Structure 1
Amino acid sequence: MKIKEIIVVEGKDDTTAIKRAVDADTIETNGSSIGESVIEQVKLAQQTRGVILFTDPDFPGEKIRKTISEKVPGCKHAFLPKEEARPKNGKGIGVEHASVESIRIALQSVKEEMDEFISEIFLDDLLEAGLVGGNRARARREKLGALLKIGYTNGKQLHKRLQMFQISREEYIKAVTTILQEENN
């Protein structure tokens, strides 16, 4: 599987994992304090070939994703569910621990950022589905992020991410229904 865009990852172990799964070029951020030279590389990559942000499903990974998105608009995003980014020994989390198949699925499910989208999903919908507030909200958001391939977010960011990736009301309802049915079985 050949990827046209340049994939932005956190480090060399992520690059190794990506190259095991697909034929692609990468840019490594080397951590969450992203230097101006890395931002310039990402800007050039976006202008010439396009960029896919593929960071770890943890706080530092989300910070990197947010920083680059703000400075380089129009990036595409690939997400791994947390359970697919854990090593067998359970210590740590990252793209480098994901299977070849998980990486390929994430890259086939890339989401594109969109600015001009009016969501049909409202904050009340998130409350009603138990995605914000309540003791199961976090687990439900994790499942929703995996089903919709938009990654995990906290309650405040969920609505923004649904808008950013133009998730339709139908897609949202289908995913929420699946989550609630799984809980009732």
Structure 2
Amino acid sequence: MIREIIVVEGKSDTVAVKRAVEADTIETNGSAVGEEVLRRIELAMERRGVIIFTDPDHAGERIRKIVARRVPGCKHAFLPQEKAMYKGDIGIENASPEAIRQALSELRTEETSGTGDITWEDLMEAGLIIHPDAANRRLEMGKLLGIGYANGKQFFKRCTSFRISREEFAEALRTMEQGQE
């Protein structure tokens, strides 16, 4: 049984999570996260802790930001888009139990004080911003680092808030570049 309560978008996501692990969920019922749902998530955080596990798409990222801003200290689980895809539809509900278990085993926690080791210049040198293939490179690095896909600014924010170390970053970059040869 997972101790924390997992925040998902809807009923289908709850069904998929419960197929993979024994856990309780709170459903946001889409991207218009209401005040009542946010209060339930705050209570869950106080009593058991919270894992945010939203779809790897724009709406899921919007929900993740809303919840994380309102309820600091949440853990984050990220599912790569290709593991959440079925017939053009992206969502947790499309993922295999194995993919869900893997995402939940690689949790990240945001730090609200201090910053990580990664600089904006590191992202430029790694070709993650201002590079013809930057979006694809961020997609691959996001998978390797377990922080999901994001645009350049958001990727930098995740590197700092999740305190990605220089060593971790360099190892992921080496792995990515070896895979592209």
TM-score by length of 2: 0.98
User: Distance between the aligned counterparts of 2:97 and 2:54, measured in 1?
Assistant: 16
Alignment deviations for residues 56-101 of structure 1 (CA, whole Å, 9 cap, x no partner): 00000000000011111111000000000001xx321000000100
Aligned positions of 1:84-103 closer than 5 A: 84-87=83-86, 90-103=87-100
Q: Is 2:111 the counterpart of 1:114?
A: yes
C-alpha contact 2:115 2:161 (8 A) present in aligned 1: no
User: Distance between the aligned counterparts of 2:99 and 2:29, measured in 1?
Assistant: 22
Q: Is 2:79 the counterpart of 1:80?
A: yes
CA shift at 1:178, angstroms? 1.2
* Code of the aligned partner of 2:131: G
Aligned positions of 1:19-98 closer than 5 A: 19-87=18-86, 90-98=87-95
Structure 1 stretches lacking a partner, 5+ long: none
CA shift at 1:118, angstroms? 2.8
Pairwise CA RMSD: 0.8
- Displaced runs of 4 or more, over 4 A: none
TM-score by length of 1: 0.96
User: Distance between the aligned counterparts of 2:105 and 2:141, measured in 1?
Assistant: 18
* Code of the aligned partner of 2:8: V
Residue of structure 1 in register with 2:2 after alignment: 3
Residue of structure 2 in register with 1:138 after alignment: 135
User: Distance between the aligned counterparts of 2:131 and 2:156, measured in 1?
Assistant: 17
User: Distance between the aligned counterparts of 2:157 and 2:25, measured in 1?
Assistant: 27
CA shift at 1:117, angstroms? 3.0
Structure 2 stretches lacking a partner, 5+ long: none
User: Distance between the aligned counterparts of 1:99 and 1:119, measured in 2?
Assistant: 32
Residue of structure 2 in register with 1:159 after alignment: 156
User: Distance between the aligned counterparts of 2:116 and 2:164, measured in 1?
Assistant: 8
* Code of the aligned partner of 2:140: K
User: Distance between the aligned counterparts of 1:118 and 1:78, measured in 2?
Assistant: 20
